[in-house]
Amino acid sequence: MEAPLLKTSLPGPKAAALIARDKKSVSPSYTRDYPLVMAGGEGAVVVDVDGNHFLDCAAGIAVNATGHAHPEVVKAIVDQAQRYLHMSGTDFYYEPQVQLAEAMAEIAPIDGPVRTFFGNSGTEAVEASIKLAKYHTKRYNIIAFLGSFHGRTMGSLSLTSSKITQRKGFGPLVPGVFHAPYANCYRCPIGSSPDNCASECLGFIEDQILVHLVSPDEVAAIVVEPIQGEGGYVVPPEAFHQRLRGLTTKHGMLLVTDEVQSGMGRTGKMFAIEHFGVEPDIFATAKGIASGMPLGVCTARADVMDWPPGTHASTFGGNPVSCAAAVATIKLLREHLVANAAEVGAFLIEGARALMDKHPIIGDVRGKGLMIGLEFVKDRKTKERAVDERDAIVQAAFYKGLLVLGAGKNAIRLSPPLTLTKSQATTALQLLDAAIGEVTRS
Ligand SMILES: Cc1ncc(COP(=O)(O)O)c(C=O)c1O
């Protein structure tokens, strides 16, 4: 399928009609940046209801790992749906759930036996991780990071600290959560140089939080995104995760990695934490795991997942159709898509860095594999955030046939399906170049 291919003005008549209906009946809490109304898709191409083709560098917020409607994933879904849709892994046994738990054990970034719990979404995977950490350690405090996004149910929302609008109006949140600065070397939150950024951010935990606010032996876990997603696609230095591992081990805390956005091959390794040479005790996965079917999993060292029957469960969690989709997805990731994410991702990052020569508004390009962030600034020296310009570039890209999403206050994320080809990456760069040029000229 070719993209972009725009046949109508945007939104076209059918899209406009559906958006009008949506506005009357669907929750106003959703943040739709532009009027895309999906009708179909194939690989990294999305077709809207008016027949317009878009190149997809958003993948339904980093979800469609194998591309839209990958035939092998669709076949796995149909085969399973024809047999049975639901039986609840909470009370009964079925093979797709066991198969997926076995597949998770094979790919987990943990040496030694692991076990897996099943939910339906990223936030549920994080909730399960928090509950397990508390249950196992018999401690009740959690340390998380500023700028993080872990979901919107009350437990994970208490850790989330990306945008204030996500928290405002919902307090009081779960007590016992402490936030530390995340090592963002482009804008060190405590004004350090890139070389010292990791140690100063970790120093905040060691010298401030654990000295003034909470005793280390009462902290169950540190929960961290290996690469911050919603917060702006921020890649911390290796030392950040390595020191976090050292700190948690020293104090008997668990290290929980939230791989909901960064996992399942997106960064060119199966899990982003593998780039840092660190093993978590528990990790949460969702989004790309089942190519778009709802699924969230929490995988942990077998000795950590020691909660007895009845402590935690979900009626729909680990639905057989979603598990079948996940098993098919993991097979494709292992066969070639993780490698493709590494190769095409490196090509796309290099291309995005080359755009910096032409567009001074791009302050930083960072990422791993196909998890790429471009941060926009009014001035490279002052790093003043170009928030309106970023929003305008997202819009301009859409009207040129490229789907991208914002991340953080002033970054754009490129999170295409892992099937993206180099030729599609080149097209994405051309469209982005044109969109940035259009906005900066005006
Ligand atoms: C790192 C991370 N954790 C958790 C979540 C929550 O996932 P969900 O929206 O499926 O609940 C997200 C969603 O964007 C995420 O990026």
pLDDT tens readout for residues 234-288: 999 999 999 999 999 999 999 999 999 999 999 999 999 999 999 999 999 999 9
151 lines ligand 1 (CB under 6 A): yes
380 alpha carbon to ligand 1 midpoint, in Å?
A: 31
Q: Are 224 and 149 in contact (CB under 8 A)?
A: no
Residue environment code for 173-184, b if the CB has 16+ CB neighbours within 10 A, otherwise e: eeeebbbbbbbb
Say how far apart CA 90 and CA 93 lie, in whole Å.
Answer: 8
The mean pLDDT value for 113-138 works out to 98
What are residue 266's phi and psi, to 5 degrees? Answer: -55, -35
121 alpha carbon to ligand 1 midpoint, in Å?
A: 8
The pLDDT tens digits of the residues spanning 67-103 come to 999 999 999 999 999 999 999 999 999 999 999 999 9
Average per-residue pLDDT for the chain: 97
Q: Which of 31, 124, 153, 260 to mutate to test the pocket of ligand 1 (most atoms within 8 A of CB)?
A: 260
pLDDT at 191: 80
Whole-model pTM: value is: 0.97
The mean pLDDT value for 300-306 works out to 98
120 lines ligand 1 (CB under 6 A): no
130 alpha carbon to ligand 1 midpoint, in Å?
A: 14
Give residue 189's pLDDT band: very low, low, confident or very high (50, 70, 90): confident
Nearest CA to ligand 1 atom 4: 150
144 alpha carbon to ligand 1 midpoint, in Å?
A: 15
pLDDT at 34: 97
317 lines ligand 1 (CB under 6 A): no
367 lines ligand 1 (CB under 6 A): no
pLDDT at 57: 98
Say how far apart CA 66 and CA 126 lie, in whole Å.
Answer: 23
290 lines ligand 1 (CB under 6 A): no
The pLDDT tens digits of the residues spanning 21-57 come to 999 999 999 999 999 999 999 999 999 999 999 999 9
150 alpha carbon to ligand 1 midpoint, in Å?
A: 5
Say how far apart CA 398 and CA 241 lie, in whole Å.
Answer: 36
